[in-house]
């Protein structure tokens, strides 16, 4: 076992979430959680986890492969035979304990998240609160899943409809929200009687480990919830086995559209249930009736949260010609004052990009735009004076349709400004792609609010707001942005099937 201990020393004043001071925390090597046991990889290999802000080692986890995956699947399959027969009240109580334990350990989870993802401590605490809200929500919803009695046309028959858990579910989650993406999926599946095998993002597995420690203490029976940590090199094979195994009834994946298509095709031979929350290219539209100060604040929230590394981050900012200059002046002034730095430093608003591949992508997108005539209003280059993976918050104007930033998701701190004249033109631009996750717009014209909201071809719309996620709301997209919904009362649908029972000769 790797026996190095790295002490990360930091101290910060209280932020907004009741945090006081932070102590020196040792990050040690961790194990994965399978069948109620903390285990190493069958191969004996480990994966190092680094802080993207500093490049320092923050811990290690097992580098698991398909051999470990099969053990996890077998364990989940065996556990399902009893977990499916637990009462809704029993599942609700365990989920509630899990929620309470993560609430008690919020600061620790947030600190680990900041250390391995680079996001600010304030954002990490916000994510823990958000992720916990799904466990709370589904702990309550577990007892609200109801069937139906449908009146029969034959007086001697009764028609009964009820929901049953589909079985073992593979949950493949990304690095950018290492707490919320696990809890949003797992709590829904567990609440209705499914068992789960969780494969977290390769860059941020330590948060997942901490979540599992809380799950173990909450009292989930062995095999009900399992964790597979692995390197990027083993991820594809693990995903393939989860998709093709006859013991796995469903897959839920959050990540890129490209990978989502691969998983979709791998599930096809088994006609497997699949939920996909994939990429987006969100538009942020500001109409001439908008409150510009609120629109600017919404733009900053929508774009720069997690350094722009969110699937619902706005990419194309469509500004009506009448107020284009006024909006841009206010926006650029705000962007210039954003603080870039280590997530543990007080006041940090923009952390690093997650890895070198993402840094190169953002740099390439900006360079492509500039080479084709875009104008840099602020930023436009790596912030290498701060650290290897930092990129300056950037605003580009003179954007045209032949630029990468126009048609593809940048997944970084880059705002691309496009002006338009009419509402029809704005909708044409916003809808002119093959993804449809989220869009945002600002308008004080109530008729326009209803028209635009109706005509935007996306699964989620933010009107006069830059942050739309909530446990009570159905999260998901249309077109190539995915299938299914997470959160809300609809969040259980990916994890249950409907059984119809006909009682005859009554």
Q: DSSP secondary structure string, 476-503?
A: --EETTEES-BSTGGGGGGGEEEEEEEE
Q: Which of 33, 37, 53, 144 is nearest to 491 (CA)?
A: 144
Catalytic residue among 311, 392, 409, 423: 311
User: What span, in angstroms and rounded, lies between the C-alpha atoms of 233 and 237?
Assistant: 8
- In the structure encoding, which two tokens stand for residue 424, read together? 């029809």
Note whether 166 and 497 are within 8 A (CB): yes
Q: Is 373 left (phi over 0), alpha (psi -120 to 50) or beta?
A: left
Contacts of 253 (CB under 8 A, 6+ apart): 172, 259, 260, 263, 274, 275, 276, 277, 278
Tokens of 489: 């009362």
Residues 71, 41: Cα–Cα separation, whole Å: 11
Can 424 be counted among the known catalytic residues?
A: no
Q: Is 47 exposed, middle or buried (0-12, 13-18, 19+ CB in 10 A)?
A: buried
Cα(first)–Cα(last) distance of the chain, in Å? Answer: 65
d(CA 359, CA 348): 19
Please identify which of the residues 116, 127, 210, 277 carries the catalytic annotation. Answer: 277
Other beta carbons within 10 angstroms of residue 467's beta carbon come to 14
Both tokens of 275, joined, read 């939920």
Which of the residues are catalytic? Answer: 277, 311
């Amino acid at each position: 076992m790797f026996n190095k201990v790295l002490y990360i020393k930091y101290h910060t004043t209280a932020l907004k979430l009741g945090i006081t001071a932070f102590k020196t925390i040792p990050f040690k090597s961790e194990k994965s959680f399978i069948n109620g046991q903390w285990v190493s990889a069958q191969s004996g290999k480990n994966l190092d986890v680094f802080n993207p802000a500093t490049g320092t080692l923050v811990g290690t986890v097992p580098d698991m492969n398909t051999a470990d995956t099969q053990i996890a699947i077998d364990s989940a399959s065996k556990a399902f035979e009893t977990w499916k027969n637990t009462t809704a009240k029993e599942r609700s109580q365990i989920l509630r304990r899990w929620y309470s334990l993560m609430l008690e350990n919020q600061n620790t989870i947030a600190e680990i998240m900041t250390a391995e993802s680079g996001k600010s401590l304030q954002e990490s605490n916000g994510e823990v609160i958000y992720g916990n809200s799904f466990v709370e929500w589904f702990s309550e919803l577990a007892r609200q899943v109801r069937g139906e009695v449908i009146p029969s046309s034959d007086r001697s028959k009764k028609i009964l409809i009820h929901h049953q858990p589909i079985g073992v579910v593979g949950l493949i989650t990304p690095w950018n929200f290492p707490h919320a993406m696990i809890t949003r999926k797992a709590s829904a599946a567990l609440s209705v009687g499914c068992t789960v095998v969780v494969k977290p993002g390769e860059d941020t597995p330590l948060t997942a480990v901490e979540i599992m420690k809380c799950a173990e203490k909450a009292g989930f029976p062995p095999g009900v919830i399992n964790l597979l940590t692995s390197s990027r090199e083993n991820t594809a094979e693990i995903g393939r086995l989860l998709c093709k195994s006859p013991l796995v009834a469903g897959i839920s994946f959050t990540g890129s559209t490209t990978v989502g298509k691969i998983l979709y095709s791998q599930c096809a031979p088994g006609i497997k249930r699949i939920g996909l929350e994939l990429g987006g290219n969100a538009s942020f539209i500001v109409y001439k009736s908008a409150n510009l100060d609120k629109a600017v604040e919404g733009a900053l929230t929508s774009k720069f949260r997690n350094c722009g590394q969110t699937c619902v981050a706005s990419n194309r900012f469509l500004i009506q010609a009448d107020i284009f200059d006024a909006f841009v002046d206010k926006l650029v002034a705000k962007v210039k004052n954003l603080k870039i730095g280590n997530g543990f430093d007080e006041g940090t608003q923009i952390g690093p990009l997650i890895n070198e591949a993402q840094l190169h992508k953002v740099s390439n997108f900006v360079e492509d735009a500039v080479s084709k005539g875009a104008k840099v209003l602020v930023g436009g280059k790596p912030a290498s004076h701060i650290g290897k993976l930092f990129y300056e918050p950037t605003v580009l104007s003179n954007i045209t349709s032949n630029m990468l930033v126009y048609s593809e998701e940048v997944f970084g701190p880059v705002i691309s400004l496009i002006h338009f004249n009419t509402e029809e033109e704005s909708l044409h631009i916003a809808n002119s792609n093959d993804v449809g996750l989220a869009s945002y717009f600002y308008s004080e014209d109530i008729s326009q609010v209803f028209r635009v909201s109706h005509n935007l071809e996306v699964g989620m719309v933010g009107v006069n707001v830059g942050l739309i996620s909530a446990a009570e709301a159905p999260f998901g997209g249309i077109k190539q942005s995915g299938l299914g919904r997470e959160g809300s009362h609809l969040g259980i649908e990916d994890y249950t099937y409907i059984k119809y029972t006909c009682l005859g000769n009554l």
